[in-house]
Amino acid sequence: MNDCKKRYFSIIALCILTLTVFAQEAIQTNSPYSRYGFGTLTDQSGSNSKAMGGIGYALRNGFHVNPANPASYSAVDSLTFIFDLGMTLQNANFTENNIKTNAKNSTLDHVAMQFRLWKRMGMTVGFVPYSYVGYNFQTSHSLKDKASDATVDTYSTYAGNGGLQQILVGFGYRMFDNLSIGVNGAYLYGDINHVNQTMFSNANAYRSVRRNEISVNDYKLDFGLQYTLKVNKNDKVTLGAVYGLGHEMNSKGRRFDEIWSTSSSVLTSSGDSIKNGFELPQTIGVGLTYVHNEKLTIGVDFTLQKWADTKFFGEEGKMTDRKKLSIGMEYVPDRLGRGYLKRINYRAGAFYSEPYTKIDGRDGAKEYGVSAGIGLPLHLYYCKSYLSISGQYVHVAPKVSGMLKENYLRINLGMTFNEPWFMKRRVN
């Protein structure tokens, strides 16, 4: 192994160790909206697409791992091995009734490896989170005790943690020069815990505790297709499509209620357990990209997740269909140019997303986001390894007035190592 490869292996090992430790220590989200459904959903996107509004269904190149569409894996070069990892640092601002609070946290977005398995087929192995749950907040109210006509103050604490994760294995096969198909198979697992505790200030000082727990261990399948049409010598258009299989999950749900008195004795308790009472939705995604002279890429994606047809704790109608529209672009002045600035990737994008959860029977909060970033080559001369840096602003707006508003400023960092490790070098 030459010194260059040793250096890259050392960098990769250090990045994995740092991100793993950092992800274990950090709270992944602070959003109170993550207490509904399976929490805050993530999109399966690579380091480059974060800056491009999250598009990915029709992105096709051999520079980055694109888990959004497994058909893209067949574009990997036969002589290279790609290692891609990403993380997000975010500052969140919450506003409710003119009261503002802030929170800072981080997430590990993905770790993935991609390589050519054999002629016309690429393979990807990786870790991609599916959802995050993380919140802790308090509320207080005053109630009228009908028996004594006295005012009773109530103090409620809401806390939740956990999420669902994916260990991903995917294959992409190029059937013809312009048509590729692919499949992502994932092991989906994780635990989600919610606790709601309420204290009453009356003479008996009752305390009620409600716990909801979800545990999932199952599979997830996504099928992809990409078709590229060459318009002329310099222009091409790629159509991408993805279908995610919806099905009942191997899962357990538990709901438990208790009422305690001041003496810490349990007055009443009740609960139930539900096996396989949760479902994954059917997902349909379509995308289109236009590429000019291998310098300019413009794309658009649309995603539909049929959550309204799924069961949650054994009940239907608890959620609604999620829709997302994304647009993005990337410009590279000259990939083969000698000037370093000419080989930088300049990216920008935007997205709009409708919620999949319901809050008290009403639709949850919509999301609007804009993003911009750059991809910096890791060598002074031509290479396909990049440091991706992007910024993202996201506004979460509830459909019902008076509910919590959220604003996020996110910094996305990605490292893509794409080197000709399988190339046999000849020394004259």
Longest distance between any two alpha carbons in the chain, whole Å: 98
3-class secondary-structure state, position 50: helix
Task: Let me know the angle formed at the C-alpha of 421 by 339 and 109, rounded to the nearest 5 degrees.
Answer: 80
pLDDT of residue 394: 95
DSSP secondary structure string, 52-84? TTT--TT---SSS--TT-GGGGGGS-TT-EEEE
CA torsion, ordered 133, 109, 304, 299, to nearest 10 deg: 150
Q: What is the mean pLDDT of residues 161-179?
A: 94
Query: Closest Cα partner for 212 from 361, 282, 315, 104?
Result: 315
Q: What is the mean pLDDT of residues 120-142?
A: 88
Q: How far apart are CA 245 and CA 315, in angstroms?
A: 20
What homologous superfamily is domain 3-419 in, according to CATH? Outer membrane protein transport protein (OMPP1/FadL/TodX) (2.40.160.60)
pLDDT of residue 267: 65
pLDDT at 428 over 50: no
Report the percent of the chain where pLDDT is more than 90: 55
Enclosing H/E stretch for 329: strand 322-331
Q: Which amino acid belongs to residue 165? A: Q
pLDDT at 183 over 60: yes
pLDDT of residue 258: 82
Q: How far apart are CA 353 and CA 358, in angstroms?
A: 14
pLDDT of residue 393: 96
Burial (CB < 10 A; 0-12, 13-18, 19+), residue 98, is exposed
Q: What is the mean pLDDT of residues 133-162?
A: 78
Q: Which amino acid belongs to residue 237? A: V
Give the pLDDT confidence of 25-53 residue by residue, as tens digits.
444 567 888 989 999 999 888 889 999 99
pLDDT of residue 397: 87
Better pLDDT: 33 or 326: 326
pLDDT of residue 143: 67
Give the pLDDT confidence of 80-103 residue by residue, as tens digits.
889 898 999 999 888 877 777 888
Query: Closest Cα partner for 305 from 352, 349, 350, 355?
Result: 355
Q: Which amino acid belongs to residue 328? A: G
Instruction: Categorize the per-residue pLDDT at 360 as very low, low, confident or very high, splitting at 50, 70 and 90.
Output: confident
Q: What is the mean pLDDT of residues 183-206?
A: 85
| Assigned token pair, 357 | 């959860």
pLDDT at 228 over 70: yes
Span of 22-36, 234-248, 326-340, 368-382 with lowest mean pLDDT: 22-36
Highest mean pLDDT among 49-53, 87-91, 118-122, 222-226: 222-226
Instruction: Categorize the per-residue pLDDT at 251 as very low, low, confident or very high, splitting at 50, 70 and 90.
Output: very high
pLDDT of residue 45: 85
pLDDT at 1 over 80: no
pLDDT of residue 29: 64
pLDDT of residue 25: 41
Structural Rg of the chain based on CA atoms:
24
Provide the 8-state DSSP code for 10.
H
Cβ–Cβ contacts within 10 Å for residue 363, how many? Answer: 17
Instruction: Categorize the per-residue pLDDT at 123 as very low, low, confident or very high, splitting at 50, 70 and 90.
Output: very high
pLDDT at 108 over 50: yes
Give the pLDDT confidence of 254-292 residue by residue, as tens digits.
998 888 766 666 666 777 899 999 999 999 999 999 999
Provide the 8-state DSSP code for 357.
B
Report the percent of the chain where pLDDT is more than 70: 85
Give the pLDDT confidence of 340-357 residue by residue, as tens digits.
888 999 999 999 999 999
pLDDT of residue 262: 63
pLDDT at 154 over 70: yes
| Assigned token pair, 345 | 């990737």
* β-pair partners for 248: 279
Distance set, CA 165 to CA 6, 38, 186 (Å): 31, 11, 9
Q: What is the mean pLDDT of residues 409-421?
A: 85
b/e map 17-29, b = 16+ CB within 10 Å: eebeeebeebebb
DSSP secondary structure string, 340-356? GGGG-EEEEEEEEEE-S
Cβ–Cβ contacts within 10 Å for residue 264, how many? Answer: 7
pLDDT at 387 over 90: yes
Better pLDDT: 424 or 255: 255
